[in-house]
Structure 1
Amino acid sequence: MHMKTFDIFSFAIKYLKDQAFGRLVKALKNVETNDIHYVLTVPAIWDDQAKIFLRKAAEKAGIKGKDLTIALEPETASIYCQELRTNRDGNSNKTFSETIKKGTKYVVVDLGGGTADLTVHERLLDDSLEEVLPPSGGNWGGTANDQAYIEISARCFY
């Protein structure tokens, strides 16, 4: 059986959406579909066409365009890390964002399965974040490393 990539993406998004909604209804009881805003993350190396493809697949899966944000993985990693508890300054009750001074620049390294993406952010004086260097990277994620290891092993042992 052959299926189009678009249909596979749409099916997967619908499945995840339905599973998440089912769990929310079970936990919160009074949740409705219009209470939810979805965020789908994509590798930084994805071009606009790939993002449009994902958006259309999500719409086919039943997510309205106004209820969907497509976000870059390094950006979401940076935002997530802002709330992580850290022991950077010897106080494990503070979040990462509470321990970095205004004007501090830091590198976000997103090592995924297929890609590795790097970007530099800065904590500004008003506590907002700014992208100092745009995301860059390539197909150097975990699967590429796995493949390289297999190839080296094959050369060494065969």
Structure 2
Amino acid sequence: MLKAQIDELIQLLQKYELSIAALYETFAAILPSSRNTWMAYGKEERLHAKWINELHGQMNNEKVSFEQTRFTTQSTITAIDYIESQIDKVKKSKTDLKQALMIAIDIEKSLLESAFFRVFKLSGPKAEKIQSLLVEATKAHIEGLIEWQANIKKA
């Protein structure tokens, strides 16, 4: 993969995280009773995008290299388009908390979200730490959303 293609893909991965943040912020706007929680999730997604940017910066300094994966620019664009379509649907429909949680869990569990951390081949401790933080944060999101969903089902 050429450097320009790698740069484009990494920018798309950042946009993917920012799209998830926008979705969570949309949930916050339409579900005022859970606004603070959704805003917190959105803030964390924005932090993930920042971490990806840090990894990209370290890649440019040759502390991190790009691992050949099944990721393509088109598959990443498709994933972003899906999230953006969900935002449009949520804005137009009467999405409730249960539906919002199902959408969020689906996205967090998606192949792209769980696998894109392997895009970077890490060689430095800072880069490895950032990657570890991304993986753990995603796991925490999934667990938190599933627990939230379970509590709603009990109510």
TM-score of the pair, normalised by structure 2: 0.26
Considering fraction of residues, name the structure with more strand. 1
Report the TM-score, using the length of structure 1 for normalisation.
Answer: 0.25
- Bigger radius of gyration: 1
> Which structure's relative contact order is higher, taking Cα pairs within 8 Å and 6+ residues apart?
2
Say which structure is richer in helix: 2
